[in-house]
Structure 1
Amino acid sequence: MKFVFGVEYDGSIYHGWQKQKSVLTIQECIEHALSKIANSKIEVICAGRTDKGVHAITQIVHFSSLIIRNEEVWFTGLNSLLPKNITVLWLKKVSSNFHARFSALSRSYRYIIFNRKNRSSFLKNYYFHVRNFLDIYKMKTSSQFLIGNHDFSSFKSSGCQSFSSRKNIFSLIIYRINDFIIIDITANSFLYHMVRNIVGCLILVGLSKKKPEWVQYILQKKDIKKTYSTVPAQGLYFLFASYPDCFSILNQSFLLKKNNLFTHFFSNF
């Protein structure tokens, strides 16, 4: 039987999603918990692997097991065995042809910037602090050059293993909530560090160090040698992934409610 679940996690103390030798990862924790419930080895696959320090609001994960357990046993068992900073939000059976990675139509990430002169002693692992004022109107203007199907070679980092640098950004939304600037990006898929590199460029525009058209120049240059900084991992969140309706993967009203709760938290900080 195959199951799919949504999971949120605080990536602060983890060395990313993918299991590795001698370091703690999200995948390792989840597989260890599932294998305990099944009394046999279980491996999981996610919609989009996250790096060290990156968080997830709703990561999508699937696994298969020959061991018969109902949905409630898997769900309750996982949350009882997982660390408190990893929480399964929902779990359900899914058809055998579903794949968390390859069935995904899009993936969405969120980056959070704390834009105030003085840093905060709180939430330091959950945003990137930029002390000088950011002009989000300029950032919005420059972001429009990135919408659509392009070769994003200029926005990948060395070590990228993607077969193609051509990706399709469906939306790039930038807005401010008090001292926080939120950047939401949705694309069919992403290159290594692509979101963090895009945000690094947008920050230079927001600081008026570069004109909005400079982002278009960087895009068209297709040069992996950077003239900007890759922003830190702690401000990045895997937001969610979308799938064909036939899989009925995610209750959109649940996601909207959860997303509103998340932004409400930051608006009242």
Structure 2
Amino acid sequence: MAFADQYGPWALVTGASAGIGAEFARQIAARGVNVALVARRRERLAALGEEIEARHGVRTLAIAADLSEPDFLAPLTEALGARHVGLLVNNAGSGVTGEFLDHDLDDELRMLALNCRAPLILAHHFGARMRDDRRGGIIMLASIAGIVPTPQFAHYSATKAWNRYLGEGLHEELARDGVDVVSLCPGLTESEFFEHANVDPSGWPSPLRASIMNAEDVAAAGLKGLGGKSQVVPGLSYRMLMRASRLAPGGLSPWLVDRVMRFALPSHSDRG
């Protein structure tokens, strides 16, 4: 089945204003599917929508929404109207590095709402229609931090493990109904993350710099993974790392991860 027939006529991409989310929107549009763009920054969404429509000849819809708010679903579905969503990309998320107990609890709860509660609600809402149609797809943005427990990123790591497990479970549940679900687990990726964090990767050791992926390749891996395995880890170096982690007794050492995190990523926060 052609991509647009399986996953169209509309895709909904959260966190679409920049980075991986914006690349998902571009690449989905290139496959002939209209895209609903969801994020907090309306101006960014409008500019991206104009770019996509001019380049790919599909329709777009910009929906400014804060998915960490408890009542986000009603205005989002009202904005969608009768548009039929056949592909959901649960990309929006936030992360805070540093010592967990040094963080504000309200900030951590907002992260939990954005990273876990919102994807749950959206997958349940749109997944029900997909199951009735016996077609569609859901991409859950997890992380290698959701595979390897990550000190200095502890709560974020836990939320990404949650996304990973939900996606992998739904992969099996919905496969019999013709709906494809994949958990996408990228590592370090070029985005606004570094700018917001005031981090300059140019000072990192060359192996760590070389592991930084671009958003285009990460999004492409997620779309390619639809209809395949339940989990996709983009990038050869990260796949080798995950394989080594599985082979090592007790997995990759949290002590080692802690040292890398302390060196590479000083305390900061970032929202997509």
Larger radius of gyration: 1
Q: TM-score, normalised by structure 2?
A: 0.25
Q: TM-score, normalised by structure 1?
A: 0.25
Higher percent of residues as strand: 1
Higher relative contact order (CA 8 A, sep 6+): 1
